[in-house]
Structure 1
């Protein structure tokens, strides 16, 4: 039967303040927890809820795919491959994307767009965080800005900046990486989320992580 029972699906769907976003946040969390087999259950639940709304089904499908795609940069490409494959297997043919959905920014565009998003997320501490990465290894900062934030995280045609922040928080919670989580909890506020919304995302990701058997060395960071 796996992890997700009908009762647990209903519990996730009733998460306060996340009635329109719980499904892709949950899918991302399960992906990072390395439980891709749970993702089709979420998708099929949502397809049934939107049974009379094909446009709604397409929008939901795109958001789930995009959340798992962005999760590749935060939870690992192999996990995203497995999760997106599981999702594809239950997606009706007419809701699959036959061509590339995202743009292909030039190097200069990616650098500018990535830097702008990074600075917005981290706010007044952006230069310090960027400097810490460059000090650890100059290539790290370059890669993060130009190859993660630029072409991937800052692409907002499917997930808004706020929704992207929800995905990032969901990805970080199972990994026991409080330094990064602290920055992105505050970054979600900078991207337009309320404290209550961020708390709901954190709480739901904690619940799912516990279901998956995740443990932490210390208390998970919060706002």
Structure 2
């Protein structure tokens, strides 16, 4: 077991500047160190813990018995929900147990059910988005495993909608009605002589299926993010990638920075920098990490926040037992 009740409470309260996003970063780091089965514990604790005020009470939170009890119950519910999913049982909402709801050392943020639902939906969406952003940084299989593990322990009421959060670059089968000539079980068809059509897993597509505005927005937004992160050395870094392999730059710009990293409707630009840092640290890639540490500053992060991200990620790495650095932990880049 990587995460215990004590460790969960430490992740949530050891680093005060990360109160609103510790669970996002912990989930990202767990995905990268290949411990996806632990993400559910973080998730269930965050679903409850984020309903509490962040103000520091007189009691020491790291050793508070009822906060530890909340973490223990979250670990237990994550395991139970995974078992429920395996047998096809609907997963109920996650709430703070009534037996000790009035004994916790922090007050409650919400008293209306709709506010609780909104807060917990945000927690789920933010973890999902962070795990997606990990994909180009640490590998698609890591994100697939992490998001699959997360879904298994997600209450039915806050599971993801069956449509993408990002505007689609390609919309299969959606064209002007004047261009339609046939629609059957195989989907929309176009006049083949005038509009060449290709079948895809999501339906037929043609040049008319491309959302040019989305492509343009992604391109501009990706460039803005690149410049915000790298500043004056942006062109130099771009040229290094291009000279290494032109397709590497094209991939990074058009497939990573544009549609993935620069999308900030769910996880902010500053938090995205934190996610990237937490994903880079376990991989022992100092040259890249150095750029993103400075990039986080450029995105408005404080040095305290960035150091807290490093320390939280080191916690996850140490507890996982499968991460090491060629020249030791002290060699990992920092500001």
Hey, what does 1:102 align to over in structure 2? 166
Whole-Å separation in 2 of the counterparts to 1:71 and 1:28: 7
Which residue of 151, 154, 171 maps to 1:91?
Answer: 154
Question: Are 2:204 and 1:140 equivalent residues in the alignment?
Answer: no
Q: How does 1:7-86 map to 2 (within 5 A)?
A: 7-14=6-13, 15-49=15-49, 50=51, 51=95, 53-86=116-149
Instruction: Determine the structure 2 residue equivalent to 1:215.
Output: 324
Higher strand share: 2
Q: Report matched runs for 1:178-193 at 5 Å.
A: 178-193=286-301
TM-score (normalised: structure 1): 0.96
Q: How far apart, in 1, do the equivalents of 2:3 and 2:166 lie?
A: 31
Question: In 1, distance between residues paired with 2:289 and 2:307?
Answer: 12
Match of 2:268 in 1: 160
Q: CA deviation at 1:205?
A: 0.5
Deviates more, 1:108-117 or 1:197-206: 108-117
Query: RMSD across aligned C-alpha pairs, in angstroms?
Result: 1.1
Provide structure 1 residue ranges, at least 5 long, that are not aligned to the other structure.
none
* 4+ residue segments displaced more than 4 Å: none
Partner residue of 1:112?
A: 220
The whole-number CA distance in structure 1 between the counterparts of 2:216 and 2:165 is: 20
Cα distance between partner residues in 2 of 1:122 and 1:141: 15
Tell me how far 1:43 sits from its aligned partner.
0.7
Matches of 1:47 and 1:114, distance apart in 2: 31
Structure showing the higher helix proportion among its residues: 1
Q: By how many angstroms is 1:110 displaced?
A: 2.3
1:17 is paired with a residue of what secondary structure? Answer: helix
| Contact 1:104–1:151, Cα closer than 8 Å, also in 2 | no
TM-score (normalised: structure 2)? 0.65
Conserved in 2, the CA contact under 8 Å of 1:110 and 1:147? Answer: no
Higher relative contact order (CA 8 A, sep 6+): 1
